[in-house]
A = this chain, B = another copy of it.
Amino acid sequence: MADVDVSSNAQSLSKKAAKKQAKEAEKAALKAEKATKVERVAEENDFAKESYGILPLIQSREKIGWSRNLEFGSGDGDSSPTLHKGHYRTLVRVSELAKEKANKVVWVRARLHTSRSKGKQCFLVLRQQQFNVQGLVSVSATISKQMVKFVAGITKESIVDVEGVVQLVDQKIKSCTQQDVELHLEKVFVVSLASPCLPLQLDDASRPHQEIEEEGRVTVNQDTKLDNRVIDIRTTTNQAIFRLQAGVCSLFRNHLIRNGFVEIQTPKIISAASEGGANVFTVSYFKTSAYLAQSPQLYKQICIAGDFEKVFCVGPVFRAEDSNTHRHLTEFVGLDIEMVFNYHYHEVVESIADTLVQIFKGLRDNFQTEIETVRKQYPAEPFRFLEPTLWLEFQEGVAILRDAGIEMGDEDDLSTPNEKLLGRLIKEKYDTDFYILDKYPLAVRPFYTMPDPNNPRTSNSYDMFMRGEEILSGAQRVHDPDLLTERARHHGVDLEKIKAYIDSFRYGAPPHAGGGIGLERVTMLYLGLPNIRQASLFPRDPKRLTP
């Protein structure tokens, strides 16, 4: 299993933050110790002793609450922490706790997000994914002092089962998503107790950049977050980012399937490096060695030459590039497309651009909550796109840059800073964050790119950009074995190594084009996140292999 080095986290925090964290951890440890003590000494004469405690491990002993068609039926009088057979219990979602449920008694399973005790009362925030609600335990005829003390001692991030009455509140509770009600708890049982020493605090990890800078408040650095992803992904920001990312995949696939594309599965272990052997990971394969695929392109093309006509695949792509930038990963998810066309590769470019536009629309229409949630922590301008998509030739892009004082040759590729600058200039001029650059210089593209028959210096290839960063690279592929051989020779590619690739086109191959989209880049750039690692659940880069 992956090696999360928890012990090193403190080092990566700033001194001040580390000090604060250490203090908090100490406090929490004391708190937990007390909690355990409370539980251990659970006084026999406590009149509320049946209303709280630590549940035995849920090991599926009995089928409690399993009969899913039962009426909402809490409070059947059985209040023992050891649950009995026949005790059906419906758990209510935190998101459902609203005015309509006022005065109802409900059971909820949630995390203890925070707690704050105050004399004979203890206020809690109960969290479930991106939703949270205020809870309250206070000494009464049914709730003992010991019980309040127990609740106050439960460690943050523990999972609890609580029973309580949904109470309307006079003033909206602004710190919670459920603002109109709070839960007056009658029973509190711990399902899973969190360690008192959390390697990071959710509130710190969720703090907006602005607050950190302006108010000098504690934050958590990126490595600590990534080292402790199991806690970090609980933040509402991360819950939103990865739900939206799942949405990108789903929108991509659904649009293509509706349009007659077939999903294919391509192998990741391959016998020869796809593009000359640079930047490729080597794998030991029984008595020989193999490589990790840098792209599914060969396989997409075999499927095209194999009559599938329009294919797509979603899967990992591996690049052994020692690039430590905000936008490079050594393993990322490729959303790949390849399709035949009749007469002109622009049929394919249109189809890919349309796919992206459908994704942008789907995100805008179905993920507004997630977008707004992320924006609270990472403010960004809404993502703008045009219909039809803005489509410039590479040389038009160069002209815009030259107008802005940039010097570059006709056959130079765009540098990363120039790409970004061009993005800003295009945004100013056309008000779009998404556009296509078509007809790249032939010299800067791989050997299998179809040369432009109308201009010996350009090629039938294109990149697509979001907020000035490339998210897709694609081209018409050479589907003729003789021209492909000639192009490979021109690029100095070892013909012996690509024999099988060239041979794929010897048995009749239709004209085709395609491209590959980086999922994490789409997520990062759509949301305007500062770093691609924030758009990968478990990022891999030259220095990170864990968790």
Contact = CB atoms under 8 A, between A and B. Distances in A.
Interface of A: 1-6, 57-66, 83, 89, 91, 109, 111, 128-129, 155, 157-159, 191-195, 198, 229-234, 238-239, 242-243, 245-246, 249-250, 253, 257, 262-272, 274, 281-286, 288, 290, 292, 298-299, 302-303, 305-309, 314-316, 318, 320, 322, 330-331, 333, 342-347, 450-454, 460, 476, 479-480, 483, 497-501, 503-511, 519, 536-538, 540, 542, 545-547
B308 A233 contact: yes
A193 to B, nearest CB: 7
A268 B453 contact: no
Contacts of A286: 320, 322, 542
A479 to B, nearest CB: 7
B507 A60 contact: no
Given A239-B307, A263-B246, A64 B284 contact: no
A320 B285 CA distance: 8
Contacts of A229: 302, 306
Contacts of A298: 1-2, 547
B57 A231 contact: no
Interface centre among A63, A192, A268, A499 (most CB of B within 10 A): A192
Contacts of A454: 61
A202 B62 CA distance: 58
Contacts of A345: 60
A22 to B, nearest CB: 17
Contacts of A510: 109, 159, 191-192
A192 B250 contact: no
Given A91-B342, A157-B507, A307-B233, A500 B1 contact: yes
B508 A159 contact: yes
Contacts of A272: 1-3
B268 A246 contact: no
A234 B540 contact: no
A503 B195 CA distance: 10
Interface centre among A264, A302, A507 (most CB of B within 10 A): A507
